[in-house]
Amino acid sequence: MGRVYDRVALIGLGLIAGSMSLAMREGGLAGEIVGYARSPETRATAREIGLVDRVVETAAEAAEGADLIVLAVPVGAMGAVAAEIAPFLKPGATVTDVGSVKRAVVEAVAPHIPAGVHFVPGHPLAGTEHSGPRSGFASLFRNRWWLLTPVEGSDPEAVARLAGLVRAMGANVEEMDAAHHDLVLAVTSHTPHLIAYTMVGVADHLKRVTESEIIKYSAAGFRDFTRIAASDPTMWRDVFLQNKDAVLDILGRFTEELFVLQRAIRMGDGAHLHDYFTRTRAIRRGIIEAGQDTAAPDFGRSQTPAKDA
Amino acid sequence: MGRVYDRVALIGLGLIAGSMSLAMREGGLAGEIVGYARSPETRATAREIGLVDRVVETAAEAAEGADLIVLAVPVGAMGAVAAEIAPFLKPGATVTDVGSVKRAVVEAVAPHIPAGVHFVPGHPLAGTEHSGPRSGFASLFRNRWWLLTPVEGSDPEAVARLAGLVRAMGANVEEMDAAHHDLVLAVTSHTPHLIAYTMVGVADHLKRVTESEIIKYSAAGFRDFTRIAASDPTMWRDVFLQNKDAVLDILGRFTEELFVLQRAIRMGDGAHLHDYFTRTRAIRRGIIEAGQDTAAPDFGRSQTPAKDA
Residues 6 or more apart in contact with residue B16 via CB below 8 angstroms: B72, B98, B124, B126, B127, B136, B140
Chain B residues within 8 A of A292 when measuring between CB atoms: 215-216, 218-219, 223
Q: Judging by DSSP bridges, how do beta strands A54-55 and A145-148 pair with one another?
A: unpaired
Enter the pTM of the model. Answer: 0.81
> What totals of helices (H) and strands (E) does chain B contain, helices first?
13, 9
Q: How far is A113 from chain B (nearest CA, A)?
A: 27
Half-sphere exposure of B37 (CA within 13 A, CB side): 23
Residue A304 lies in a domain: no
Contacts of A131 in chain B (CB under 8 A): none
Judge whether A298 lies within some domain. no
Contacts of B197 in chain A (CB under 8 A): 261, 276-277, 280
Query: What's the CATH code of the domain at A109?
Result: 3.40.50.720
Does the distance separating the beta carbons of B253 and A223 come in below 8 Å? no
Tell me: do A96 and A214 sit in the same domain.
no
Q: How far apart are CA A236 and CA B237, in angstroms?
A: 33
Residue B67 and residue B200 in one domain: no
Asked whether the beta carbons of B125 and B98 are under 8 A apart, the reply is no
Same domain for B198 and B123, yes or no, is no
Give the gap in angstroms from C-alpha B189 to the nearest C-alpha of chain A. 5
CB neighbour burial string for A214-249, b if at least 16 within 10 angstroms, e if fewer: bbbbbbbbbbbbbbbbbbbbbbbbbbbbbbbebbbb
| Chain B CA closest to residue A128 | B220
Total beta-carbon pairs less than 8 A apart between chain A and chain B: 337
Are residues B88 and B133 both part of a single domain? Answer: yes
Those residues whose C-beta lies under 8 Å from the C-beta of residue B239, and which sit 6 or more positions away, are B75, B100, B101, B190, B193
Q: Quick check: is B42 in a domain? A: yes
Question: Measured between alpha carbons, how far apart are the two ends of chain A, in Å?
Answer: 25
Phi and psi dihedrals of B24, rounded to 5?
Answer: -70, -40
Among candidate residues A176, A193, A211, the one where a domain is terminated: A176
A125 domain-assigned: yes
Looking at the structure, do residues B169 and B186 belong to the same domain, yes or no?
Answer: no
Asked if B198 lies within 8 A of A261 by C-beta distance, the reply is yes
Q: Is the pLDDT of residue B306 over 80?
A: no
pLDDT (tens digit, 9 = 90+) per residue, B197-215?
898 889 888 878 887 888 8
> In terms of residues, how long is chain A?
309
Which range of residues forms the domain containing residue B163?
A: 5-176
CB–CB contact B255 A251 (8 Å): no
pLDDT tens-digit series, residues B236-267: 999 999 999 999 999 999 999 999 999 999 99
pLDDT over 70 for what percent of chain B?
92
Residue A225: CATH number of its domain: 1.10.3660.10
Beta strands in B128-223 (DSSP E): 145-148, 172-175
Instruction: Sort residue A116 into left (φ over 0), alpha (ψ -120 to 50) or beta.
Output: left
* Chain A residue with the nearest C-alpha to that of B306: A219
* A153 Rama class: left (phi>0) / alpha (psi -120 to 50) / beta: left
Do residues B137 and B216 share a domain? no
Residue B202 has its nearest CB partner, among A196, A254, A293, at A254
Distance in Å from the first CA to the final CA of chain B: 25
Closest CA to A276 of A286, A287, A264, A266: A264
- 3 state SS of B145: strand
Q: Are residues A91 and A57 in the same domain?
A: yes
The reply to whether residue A211 touches residue B262, judged by beta carbons under 8 angstroms, is no
A298/B224 touch (CB, cutoff 8 Å), yes or no: yes
Number of domains in chain A: 2
Measured at the alpha carbon of residue B13, what is the angle toward residues B12 and B15, in degrees to the nearest 5? Answer: 115
Predicted local confidence at residue B309, as pLDDT? 27
Could you list the beta-strand ranges (E) of chain B: 5-11, 30-36, 54-55, 68-71, 94-97, 118-119, 122-124, 145-148, 172-175
* pLDDT at position B91: 97
Residue at B238 is within a domain:
yes
In a shared domain, residues B146 and B38: yes
3-class DSSP state for residue B164?
A: helix
- Residue B308: pLDDT above 80? no
* Domain boundary pick from A133, A148, A176: A176
B185 vs A192, A202, A220: nearest CB? A220
How many other CB atoms are there within 10 angstroms of residue B302's CB atom?
A: 15
Of A209, A238, A265, the CB nearest to B244: A265
Q: Which of A238, A276, A299 to mutate to test the interface with B (most CBs of B within 10 A)?
A: A276
Give a yes or no: residue B296 inside a domain. no
Indicate the pairing of strand A118-119 with strand A94-97.
parallel
Q: Which of A115, A141, A176 is the last residue of a domain?
A: A176
What's the confidence (pLDDT) of residue B123?
96
**For residue range B90-132, what is the model confidence (pLDDT) as tens digits?**
999 999 999 999 999 999 999 999 999 999 999 999 887 788 9
Does residue A261 belong to any structural domain of this protein?
A: yes
| Complex ipTM over 0.85 | no
Residues B41 and B156 in one domain: yes
Distance from CA of B135 to the nearest CA of A (A): 16
Is residue B297 a part of any domain in this protein?
A: no
Mean pLDDT for chain B overall:
89
Distance, in Å, from the CA atom of A146 to the CA atom of A126, rounded to the nearest integer, reads 8
Q: Are residues B111 and B241 in the same domain?
A: no
Domain match, B192 and B126 both: no
- Using H for helix, E for strand and C for coil, what is the string for chain A? CCCCEEEEEEECCCHHHHHHHHHHHHHCCEEEEEEECCCHHHHHHHHHHCCCCEECCCHHHHHCCCCEEEECCCHHHHHHHHHHHHHHCCCCCEEEECCCCCHHHHHHHHHHCCCCCEECCEEECCCCCCCCCCCCCCCCCCCCEEEECCCCCCCHHHHHHHHHHHHHCCCEEEECCHHHHHHHHHHHHHHHHHHHHHHHHHHHHCCCCCHHHHHHCHHHCHHHHHHHCCCCHHHHHHHHHHCHHHHHHHHHHHHHHHHHHHHHHHHCCHHHHHHHHHHHHHHHHHHHHCCCCCCCCCCCCCCCCCCCC
Shared-domain flag, residues B77 and B157: yes
Q: Residue A293 has what pLDDT?
A: 57
Q: Which among B266, B295, B157, B276 is positioned nearest to A195, based on CA atoms?
A: B276
pLDDT digits (tens, 9 = 90+) for B10-54: 999 999 999 999 999 999 999 999 999 999 999 999 999 999 999
- Residue B72 pLDDT greater than 90, yes or no: yes
pLDDT(B297) > 50:
no
- Chain B nearest-CA residue for A188: B222
Q: Which residues of chain A have pLDDT under 70?
A: 220, 288, 290-309
How are strands ordered across the β-sheet holding B145-148? Answer: B122-124, B145-148, B172-175
The band of B301, judged by pLDDT with boundaries at 50, 70 and 90, is very low
Give the contacts of A21 (CB within 8 A, at least 6 positions apart): A10, A33, A35, A51, A52, A136
DSSP H or E stretch at residue B171 = none
* A21-35: pLDDT as tens digits: 999 999 999 999 999
- Specify whether the CB–CB gap between B70 and B39 falls below 8 A: no
CB B78 within 8 A of CB B103: no
- Of the candidates A57, A63, A46, A45, the one whose C-alpha atom is nearest the C-alpha of residue A8 is A63
Average pLDDT of the residues in B54-66: 98
Q: What pLDDT does A301 receive?
A: 27
Report the interhelical angle of B233-242 vs B191-205 (nearest 10°): 120
